[in-house]
Amino acid sequence: MMEDQADASSEEFANARKEMDKLVYESLKGREVKPNALFAKLSDLTRNLPPTKELVNWARVNSLWPLQFGLACCAIELMDFGSARIDAERKGYLLFRGTPRQCDVMIIAGWVTKSMVPEIKRLYEQMSSPRYIVAFGECATCGGPWWESYNIIKGIDEVLPVDVFVAGCPPRPENLFAALIKLQKKVGGNIEG
């Protein structure tokens, strides 16, 4: 008796579900969902054509994702770079991300102690590829005032490949913005690596 009741209610449930699916299908029929800038997928925009190398390159150049990461006083300048005054997003330099897996740009902002080298290398290896490094300021470029220190390396290029160097102690946020534009040209193949 109980089993018969259970069979009947599951059949009713299946029928109700079919009916609901039919109603939803009917209500959507004839409505074209147009892609828009916010919610479109790449395949919508390219009208089912596979993305060309140029399109991928264009997207890569105009959406650089920096890692939220600072080492010393240059990181204060980096914070200023992220402010509305510079407004770096207008050039495709997007939000600082908290995980290296979502980033493709690492800005070395500050001096690099020998004990930090393995940690910086680990972060670099976790970043998505292709990935880029900007040496921001004298310390990251050559050791800066700590040139002869026993525990600070003479530039991050001793351990990782640097794409762009930014001079200054402290370096200006505007110079980092200029360096970004240079990096974009390099990523886009407009200047030699």
Kindly determine how many residues on this chain lie close enough to bind ligand SF4 according to the rule CB under 6 A.
Answer: 12
Neighbouring C-alpha atoms within 13 Å toward the C-beta of 86: 22
Nearer to ligand SF4, 71 or 88 (CB): 71
Kindly state the tokens that stand for 174: 């505007």
Footprint on residues 24-43 left by ligand SF4 (CB under 6 A):
none
* CB atoms inside a 10 Å sphere around CB 85: 9
CA–CA gap between residue 169 and residue 6 (Å, rounded): 77
Nearer to ligand SF4, 39 or 150 (CB): 150
Least distance from ligand SF4 to the Cβ atom of residue 134, Å: 13
User: Stretches 99-107, 133-141, 175-183, 185-193: which one binds ligand SF4 (CB under 6 A)?
Assistant: 133-141
Least distance from ligand SF4 to the Cβ atom of residue 139, Å: 3
User: Stretches 17-25, 29-37, 120-128, 136-144: which one binds ligand SF4 (CB under 6 A)?
Assistant: 136-144
Which class for 108: exposed (0-12), middle (13-18), buried (19 or more C-beta within 10 A)?
A: buried
Which class for 91: exposed (0-12), middle (13-18), buried (19 or more C-beta within 10 A)?
A: middle
The SS3 of residue 16 is helix
Least distance from ligand SF4 to the Cβ atom of residue 168, Å: 7
Which one of 138, 153, 162, 176 is in contact with ligand SF4 (CB under 6 A)?
138
Residue 162 is a binding residue for ligand SF4 (CB under 6 A): no
The SS3 of residue 93 is strand
Residues that bind ligand SF4 (CB under 6 A): 72-74, 110-111, 137-139, 144-145, 169-170
